[in-house]
Amino acid sequence: MSRNCRFTAAVHVCAVLANHPESDVTSDYVASSLNTNPVVVRRLLASLAQAGLVASKRGSGGGYRLAKAAARIDLAAIAAAVEDDDGPAFSPNPTNPTCPIARNIKPVIAEAIARAEAARMSELGKVSLADVMEKLPV
């Protein structure tokens, strides 16, 4: 699953769990909401659990629920839980050492991307899962 898709799918997963605050929800149920395979959902849930956003209960009657109130989970936390930050993707080909642009462009681009990503995470940090839920007709 691509980076952007993982984030939006993880927000969807958390919204499904937020919509059932008093019960454990199965990965099959969540997968049906996303119209995807439960294995995909379980991978997302594992990442969310590792970040402390989701709790799981094993066994029959088990499932998943939010580990804290939706108002205490922001979209930046969800993004951080499911996105792998490998930094900007540069060409794997070696650059031309005689070209001044090729020798120097990577750090310039990386700095601009880092600033943009910091601004993105700052904005996502201003939106809670509860804010998302308020806008959904559930």
CATH assignment of 3-86+128-134? Answer: 1.10.10.10
| Domain range summary for the chain, segments of one domain joined by + | 3-86+128-134
What are the tens digits of pLDDT across the range 79-136?
A: 999 997 777 788 888 889 999 999 999 999 999 999 999 999 999 999 999 999 999 9
Q: Supply the pTM of this predicted model.
A: 0.88
CA distance 30 to 76: 21
The band of 4, judged by pLDDT with boundaries at 50, 70 and 90, is low
Q: Are 9 and 37 in contact (CB under 8 A)?
A: no
Q: Is 87 left (phi over 0), alpha (psi -120 to 50) or beta?
A: left
Q: Which residues pair with 66 in a beta bridge?
A: 54
